[in-house]
A and B are shown apart, each in its own frame.
Chain A
Amino acid sequence: MAVRVAETGDHLTASAGQATSEPGFLDRLRAFYLRSDAAKGYVLLSPVMITMVALLAAPLILLVLYSLWTQVGLHVDTAPTLQRYQEVLNKQSYVDIFWRSIGMSSLVTLVTVGLAYPMAYYVAFGVKRYKFIWLVLLTIPFWTSYLLRAFSWKIILGYNGVINSGLMSLGLIHEPLGFLLYNQTAVIITLAHAYAAFAILPIYVSLEKIDRTLLEAAADLGDGAWARFWRVTFPLSLPGVVGAAVLIFVPTTGDYVTPALVGGPTGQMIANIIQVQFLKIGDWPLGSALAISAMAGVAILVVLFVSAMQLAVRQIR
């Protein structure tokens, strides 16, 4: 790679006396490589790029292709057609599930970001000496098994679970509460808990970056604590907030595990019906069309959201 090309400099130094002869193609290539920062960089980057193209770009392209094909019995008819998309958009249950997922994710995002902001604010502005410990404590949950974290809510919210048995043994209720599990609320609670860590870091980073002397200037110009927060801190932290919101919204709309574990029949989300198409029914073209339509829908909503936020923040002066 980079090494082999350069090592031949040995005999080049020796024969440099003949450097005035016409440089060959290989020499010109080497010269270009040595002169070009970009060439060296891309050579190093190539293994990663190739891996990602093979494992990410190619599969996604195949996904799009499949969505244009048709499942006929056990094989796939590759004549391109938009019929799968028509099926998806026309089926009311699919459309319903899509909007239900969007609704649940929006609620999750609101709750998670709303709770994470004061927490991040505290670490950025209130903690002086042990920031690292706080940050590690806040991010450890992020790295532990998502499956197990979702599962722990199942045992907490269950009919004979922690909350019910706890409340009953304390004598506060006489019958278990049935509405805790296997519905949308359970999904929302579980997702909010599972994705909490996602929200903290982006907000923290954008708060931490704020130049403290800006706040001192605002105070000097007459702003009290709340005004300083609203007019200086909040607008400057908004990119982090928007980033956190997107970081939570997008994955939660496509979540499979939580609805499957705690959602019950009314709490199913898009990912669950996609999984059924792929692993049970076997209609991959339909599943692909479903997946892509859902992704496109989410992407459009995210773009609208981000633009709206940018417009809104411009109003704060």
Chain B
Amino acid sequence: MADNIIRIENVTKQFIGGVKAVDSVSINIERGEFFSLLGPSGCGKTTLLRMIAGLEFPTEGEIFIDNQPSSLIPSYKRPTNMVFQSYAIFPHLNVFDNIAYGLRKEGLSRSELNRRVEESLAMIKLQGFGKRRGDQLSGGQRQRVALARALVKRPKVLLLDEPLGALDKKLREEMQIELRQLQKTVGITFVFVTHDQEEALSMSDRIAVMSKGDVLQIAGPKELYEAPNCVEVATFIGTINLINATVKAVNGGEVMLEGPGFGQFKAPAMEGLKVGDKIVAAIRPEKLTLAGQKPATGAFVEGMIKASAYLGDRSHHQVFVKGREEPVFVAAQNVERAMGSGFDAAKPVYVTWEPKSLILLKS
């Protein structure tokens, strides 16, 4: 039985005006895991996070924090701490007092308080910054102060509301790695809200994908990417090619599908599929291969490269296939150190794949 430090049971949050920001959501978060809430703006992830923090209260349902029901517990009595999106660094206090803020009530001796704050400063690599004020720090430094301020209280759960959104790309990637390592070192549960799917995939143990107040899928990064449970999740995470297909034949472990541009092709069977059913077949760009020659065996389609983007380690190609409106996205690793695109734009190319790489999704 999993040790769930947070159990969200059928929680709904309805605002004045009838808008349901969160609609009957149930999520279990395990102790010690790095859990992300992922989704576009307005999907309810921040509202859900704020309900865990106690800054909002559910209209229906209950949130159990370490097996205690929390609906009557205000935020300042919960064992959770939050890193706010705007960092919320107190402008009238310096860095030391900001970090020490939540410790003042705990009755620590002066030396103990100092020790813990200094420890925090060292952990975020801002030793000596104690006397500085918020407006003297860079965005990244403020973010770390916000982090330290929350962690110094040793909460059971750390809540992070899009903390890396305001940082530039390089800094953001550095912080992603640092945060992940920090979580492993400190060992507490992190609940992380973001709209950036790459961020969520790289940092999390498990992710809940949300849209319009609902949870679409909860799974680890690999499962979300390789086995999304619906079209919305599949298209939200990474890029994917979708084929609106009809089932032509069912043969035990395989089905034969037919779709525009692709003609007839095999795919792994899915439970309950019958001939004539409409289904969406999906395949990730990196599961497709480009060849200059028509392959002797295996499934393929012929097309023309209309656009290519060179990204250094890989190239993204858009291949237009007759009978299909949208291009087929193919991602190829640039294994060879050759100059030039490697493919002649004037000549037809051949896209091949393994049938087992296809994902079948109900539309």
Residues of A within 8 A of B (CB): 6, 9-10, 12-13, 16, 19, 27, 30-31, 34-35, 38
Contact = CB atoms under 8 A, between A and B. Distances in A.
B73 interface: yes
Interface string B41-75: 00000000000000001110000000011011110
Given A6-B74, A34-B74, A13 B59 contact: no
B131 interface: no
A-B interface, 9 closest residue pairs, ranked by CB to CB distance from nearest: A35-B57, A16-B68, A19-B69, A9-B77, A6-B74, A9-B73, A34-B57, A12-B72, A31-B72
Interface in B71-119: 71-74, 77
B68 A35 contact: no
Contacts of A31: 71-72
A19 B63 CA distance: 13
Given A34-B57, A35-B58, A35-B59, A13 B71 contact: no
Contacts of A16: 68-69
A34 B77 contact: no
Contacts of B59: 35
Contacts of A9: 72-74, 77
6 contacts: A9-B77, A13-B68, A16-B69, A27-B72, A34-B71, A34-B74
Contact of B71 (A10, A35, A38): A35
A13 B156 CA distance: 15
Contacts of A6: 74
Q: Main SS of the interface on chain A?
A: helix
Contact of A13 (B57, B58, B77): B77
A12 B58 contact: no
B205 to A, nearest CB: 27
Contact of B73 (A13, A27, A35, A38): A13
Nearest to B73: A9
Contacts of B16: 38
Contacts of A12: 72-73
A205 B2 CA distance: 59
B4 to A, nearest CB: 16
A39 B73 CA distance: 16
Nearest to A38: B16
Contacts of B77: 9-10, 13
A12 B69 CA distance: 10
Interface centre among B69, B71, B72 (most CB of A within 10 A): B72
A30 B71 CA distance: 10
Interface centre among A12, A27, A35 (most CB of B within 10 A): A35
B11 to A, nearest CB: 12
A10 B77 CA distance: 8
A6 to B, nearest CB: 5
A16 B68 CA distance: 6
Contacts of A35: 57-59, 71
A34 B275 CA distance: 55
A272 B215 CA distance: 70
B5 to A, nearest CB: 15
A9 to B, nearest CB: 5
A297 B69 CA distance: 60
B105 to A, nearest CB: 13
Nearest to B58: A35
B73 to A, nearest CB: 5
Nearest to A23: B72
A224 to B, nearest CB: 42
A18 to B, nearest CB: 11
A12 B59 CA distance: 20
Given A9-B77, A31-B72, 8 more contacts: A10-B77, A16-B69, A27-B72, A31-B71, A34-B72, A35-B58, A35-B59, A38-B16
